[in-house]
Amino acid sequence: MRLTQKCCIAALSVALGTVLPCVARAGNNTTYPIRYVVVIFQENVSFDHYFATYPIALNPPGEPAFHAKSGTPSVNGLNNTLLTMNQNLLQPQRIDRSHVNTADQDHDYMPEQQAFDSGLMDKFVQFTGTPPGGPSQVMDYFDGNTVTALWYYAQNFAMSDNSYDTDFGPSTPGALNLISGNTHGVTPANLTGVTVQGTVIGDADPTGDIASAGTTMQMSGKNVGDLLNAKGVTWGWFEGGFDNPSQTHIGSNGQPKVDYIPHHEPFQYYPQTANPQHLPPTAAIGETDQANHQYDITRFWTALYAHKLPAVSYLKAPGYQDGHAGYSDPLLEQEFVVSTINELMNSPEWNSMAIIISWDDSDGWYDHVMPPIVNQSQTQYDALTGAGNAGTNPPLGGFQGRAGYGPRLPLLIISPFAKKNFVDHSVTDQSSILQFIEDNWKLGRLGNGSFDALAGSLLNMLDFKNQDEALFLDPNTGEPFKP
């Protein structure tokens, strides 16, 4: 897979010393020297599933290789005891690059808590492994010969090994926490296995979205889009297939997969930030019009190449490239992530940009770290410390069904200002991304029990005196190359 023509033209312009035009729409009124934030929000990966043995890869002959630089820090991964004498029913095994198509695991709100077993972290096979209790890959992990690009990004920029899903549960709660830090305020309030006491704990499509099917739900309250609009800051959510929700690609399982997945689009749940009819923009990308900041991912590239990039952009890959086990895989995910970052690094906007790579949930994959439980809950779906309980303290805002933090997830920041070859050990979660955007554009907090008030800061991953070079990777192998 080669870089696009526009990417190569940009690279040539830089090489020739040509100054590319850049219309700065992000504004200078930022707290930090970051005028563009691009969040690449992927699917269903625990930290150990991708980084269990970082920075040591097996490097079999014929596979892409990863060799750690001298001084590369280790992470809180799987040590020899956890690899060979694990307390779970199965031992973790390395998944080779030739077997990237794995089964989707059980990652619902209650089974994840049961797998954690009051912090013993010993019942993944029984509760999140598929098939339940049977032979399963739930304990298994990839290394730097398969998730090669992510390991190279980690080595050259900043990564956290102590970042968490804000709540337990699947995709929709994770997506909502990314933009609002809140899964409470849903209608209907009690939908079996999906909502409880007015809080989202499962997946259902957004009410009114033309691509939605089956039972749907709608959120009340505010999200970061409301705050950005109030300050006049340009922004957008860009998702594969938004312009044509029936569009498909062949997934890793050999079956067609729709590019646009409605329950992965969090702004569509809020009436004030939704574009239920998927209307095209009539104004500049990132400004308020009939599209209401919700776009097909192709619109992001239109804005970038015109040097009219919104200040805040959320990117959601088409389904087959989002990394979700069952229909996507790490190699298809790598194609999307690397191609996207190569293009961004070739743009003049890169010099004042922070790219944040995050995931929406763990898919139920094994991770050995018990998260800090900063918010407790007591509903019929809670089971962390016993039937009906995920701790006994009153919940944040009085809102039940938001037990968290949930499973540990990867988090990387790729930026000229990211610390180089750095592993951050401070506690963060999905709403830390929300908090960073709020702070950079002086938006204030959302309130109403949002986790943004509790979130750990991303600032420890950044050094605003640092001006690092770009790192171009091959989308197929994940290895470095020079364009």
- Listed by start position, the domains of the chain span 5-461
Taking the C-alpha atoms of residue 165 and residue 186, their distance in angstroms, rounded to an integer, is: 20
Task: With beta carbons less than 8 A apart as the criterion, state whether 257 and 248 touch.
Answer: yes
pLDDT at 1 over 70: no
Per-residue model confidence as pLDDT tens digits over 251-267: 999 999 999 999 999 99
Question: Residues 439, 194: contact at Cβ < 8 Å?
Answer: no
Q: What is the mean pLDDT of residues 469-481?
A: 95
Angle between helical axes of 330-345 and 5-15 (0-180°, round to 10): 40
Give CA–CA dist 396/376, Å, rounded. 8
Residue with tokens 């069952």: 326
SS3 390: strand
Half-sphere exposure of 415 (CA within 13 A, CB side): 30
Contact 458, 429 (CB under 8 A): no
Is residue 23's pLDDT more than 50?
A: no
At residue 27, does pLDDT exceed 60?
A: no
**How far apart, in whole angstroms, are the C-alpha atoms of residue 59 and residue 49?**
17
Give the 3-state secondary structure percentages of the chain, helix then strand then coil, rounded to 5. 25, 15, 60
CA distance 196 to 194: 7
What region does 361 belong to: left with phi over 0, alpha with psi -120 to 50, or beta?
beta
In terms of phi and psi (left: phi > 0; alpha: psi -120 to 50; beta: otherwise), the region of 133 is left
Question: How confident is the model at residue 120, as a pLDDT?
Answer: 98
Cα atoms in the Cβ-side hemisphere of radius 13 Å centred on 343: 20
Q: In degrees, to the nearest 5, what angle opens at C-alpha 36 toward C-alphas 34 and 40?
A: 120
Q: Give how far Cα 270 sits from Cα of 205, 213, 436, 444, Å.
A: 12, 17, 21, 19
**Model pLDDT for residues 354-390, shown as the tens digit of each residue:** 999 999 999 999 999 999 999 999 999 999 999 999 9
Q: Looking at the predicted structure, is the pLDDT value of residue 25 above 60?
A: no
- pLDDT mean across residues, the chain: 93
Q: What pLDDT score was predicted for residue 227?
A: 98
Query: Which parts of 43-93 are beta strand (E)?
Result: none
What Cα–Cα distance (Å) separates residue 89 from each residue in 72, 143, 310, 327?
A: 32, 22, 48, 27
pLDDT, tens digit (0-9, with 9 covering 90-100), for 38-47: 999 999 999 9
Cα 403-171-120 angle, rounded to 5 deg: 45
Binned at pLDDT 50, 70 and 90, residue 291 comes out as very high
Q: What is the DSSP letter of 97?
A: G
Query: Looking at residue 133, what is its pLDDT?
Result: 62
Domain 5-461 belongs to what topology? Alkaline Phosphatase, subunit A (3.40.720)
